[in-house]
Structure 1
Amino acid sequence: MKTFRKIAFTLLIIFIVLSAGGYVYFDKKFTPPPNTLIVSGISENIPVKWVADGDNLYSALLLPVRLKGISQVFYMQLDTGSPTTVFYTNSLQSIHEKISPKSNLKNIFSSFKLNKMEVSSSGFQLINHGDSADTENPEAVNIIGTIGNDLLEKRIIILNFKDHTCSFTDRIDEKGFSGFEFKKRKILLPAKIGNEKLKLMFDSGTSGYELITNKESWDQYRLSNSHIKSEKGNSWGNTLSIKSSAAHQKIEMGSSILKLSEVTYIEGTSKMQNFLMKSSGMKGMLGNKIFINHILILDCKREKFMIKESEVKHSK
């Protein structure tokens, strides 16, 4: 699951990339690597598995995947804050050692299946992360990697938070869809709270939060006398305080209006991060929780989106 360190680092990268002052250098530095994914087929109604953390029922969104030659189901976190799909080295090594030690490691992890859709690459990125997989228990929730926005460049995603399913398709009737920005494989959705127009990044890795924003907006949107829930985090040695408070606002996005019942900000970020946030024009990040009981459709290739409450029909 995404840590607070990664959240803060993601914020820093986005704010720097979008700020005018550092654009030339960071535009090149933080441009994601080429998309090496090869995707075949489509997949409908993949069951979503939620990871709970205390009172937060939506701490992470997991999708079930299958690896070549292995019958056990594994899981990958859907993280739209990540530009690239990655595997976790620690998890893969343990699977290789316990299940198929004589097989070629590269062959086992050169592809995965999401129901009927196959995703392959000549070289998935590996990061030093993850836990040793429990291959003895068929009910174990072994998280072996992260699905990033390189997959969303290849397929339209339909996140049906209402029915807890996820679909990937290549065609859909986009009548009534609205536009959004897809920069550096980051999803920047236009929004409006009151009379204020906002640009908000959809980061499903910050799953259990509705809206993470700056202190000024947090004070503006929260209910002034509401309880403040505090959590601790760490960013490269700096202690972070994550504060969430009840809100009673409406967010207009496209043709839909969502209820904002909680707002969050991160205390302890540097002055540079705060400055870059203000200068970038981006006012925060949206997690999965804001879309609960809705259907979110994202066509990153065409930069079109829609939020619905009714059934989605695929075009034929």
Structure 2
Amino acid sequence: MLRILSWAKALFTVAVLGLAAPALAQSPQSAPQLALRNDGREFGFLWQAARFGDRTEPHAALIVPVRIEGAPKTLYMQFDLGAPSTVLMKDKLDSLTERLPGLAAGADGAVNRLVFSMGEVRAEAANVRVVQGGSSGGIAWDEPDRIDIIGTVGADLLRGRVLVIDYPRNRIFVGPAAPEGLVGAGQSIPFIFTPRGVILTGMVIDGEAKNIMLDTGSSAFALLTSHEDWLAKTNGGAGETSFPVNSWGRTLTAHVAPSGSVARFGDTTVPLGEVAYMEGVDAAQANAMRASGMGGMTGNKLFVDRILVLDAANATYAVVVPRP
């Protein structure tokens, strides 16, 4: 179950839960910690495509190949900073426990210990939550090339560490500090690490500084914003396309249009390309989002030709242009 439509859910998260409220603007220490060995290294990721109406999005989800000792094939987990911690999907776990009984969930519904490898990085998670995985079924053990997504690597990978998401190279570095020389003087910008996600501060669009929610479980659009902001950034919606999306059982309509606006992160600029808004969100929720000070939400798509550095130890981030 890919969370490719989580940008729609995130709008409700911001509006209903008050994501930017000061009470949540702290490191989420209550979530389980993901222990790592051999960090200071990088591992690869793949893009998963998806269709939205007549539109194909090649970067719909970012998935990480993982190996579990005793499992005869490579499995995959979605990389999703919108999830507080690593989780497994029940249907895939049921397939795993047929071969690896030690992974069975306990009486509390959680897996006591999960050990997996992402490239050379070895991860160990405790008390892993198990969620329903929709109707995707079990693992196709007899199809070694099929991509079976067993769960999510969440924000516990970032907590207390530095992540470098090199989108052009399809690589993620994780370690105690960023590689030397990657982030220049004055490039770092504060971010807020909350129990519900990462908020990037200081993103400037059309001369206006905004706080934007970052969700790596989402790749559909470069910027999801309000209707009013969408009109302003798309020349009144010129060239608009729209299609229905399902957000946790509720049907919304996504409206997308080209935009000439440019986002600036310190000295680095990134063209938005297009901007989206959701029709079907009630006025009270939209007003609550505006009152929270949030300027919208972004995902992987905005950064596909950039490098995103997230330093949770120092609560700063940077957007870096790859070197030739």
How far the C-alpha of 1:95 sits from its partner, in A, is: 2.7
Q: How does 1:118-157 map to 2 (within 5 A)?
A: 118-129=122-133, 131=136, 132-157=138-163
How far the C-alpha of 1:194 sits from its partner, in A, is: 1.5
CA distance in structure 2 between the aligned counterparts of 1:203 and 1:183, rounded to whole angstroms: 12
Report the AA paired with residue 167 of structure 2: F
Match of 2:38 in 1: 41
2:322 aligned with 1:310, yes or no?
yes
How far the C-alpha of 1:245 sits from its partner, in A, is: 0.7
2:161 aligned with 1:164, yes or no?
no
How far the C-alpha of 1:259 sits from its partner, in A, is: 0.6
2:190 aligned with 1:179, yes or no?
yes
Match of 2:108 in 1: none
Match of 2:77 in 1: 76
CA distance in structure 1 between the aligned counterparts of 2:309 and 2:177, rounded to whole angstroms: 12
Q: Is the 8 A contact 1:32 1:84 kept in 2?
A: no
Q: Is the 8 A contact 1:38 1:121 kept in 2?
A: yes
Identity of aligned residues (%): 26
Higher relative helix content: 1
Q: Is the 8 A contact 2:67 2:74 kept in 1?
A: yes
How far the C-alpha of 1:71 sits from its partner, in A, is: 3.7
Structure 1, residues 2-34: CA drift from partner, whole Å, max 9, x if none? 154x443332222344379x877xx59xx7843
Structure 1, residues 254-310: CA drift from partner, whole Å, max 9, x if none? 221111111011110122211111100001111111111111111122111111123
| Aligned-CA RMSD value | 2.6
Gaps of 5+ in 2: 106-110
2:313 aligned with 1:301, yes or no?
yes
2:118 aligned with 1:117, yes or no?
no
State the TM-score, normalizing by the size of structure 2: 0.85
Count of matched residue pairs:
304
Q: How does 1:283-298 map to 2 (within 5 A)?
A: 283-298=295-310
- Matched residue SS, 2:297: strand
Gaps of 5+ in 1: none
Report the AA paired with residue 303 of structure 1: A
Higher mean C-alpha deviation, range 174-183 or range 138-147? 174-183
Q: For residues 239 and 307 of structure 1, do their structure 2 counterparts lie closer, same or farther at Cα, with a shift above 3 Å needed? A: same
CA distance in structure 2 between the aligned counterparts of 1:19 and 1:86, rounded to whole angstroms: 21
Report the AA paired with residue 207 of structure 2: N
How far the C-alpha of 1:223 sits from its partner, in A, is: 3.6
CA distance in structure 1 between the aligned counterparts of 2:151 and 2:90, rounded to whole angstroms: 9
2:29 aligned with 1:18, yes or no?
no
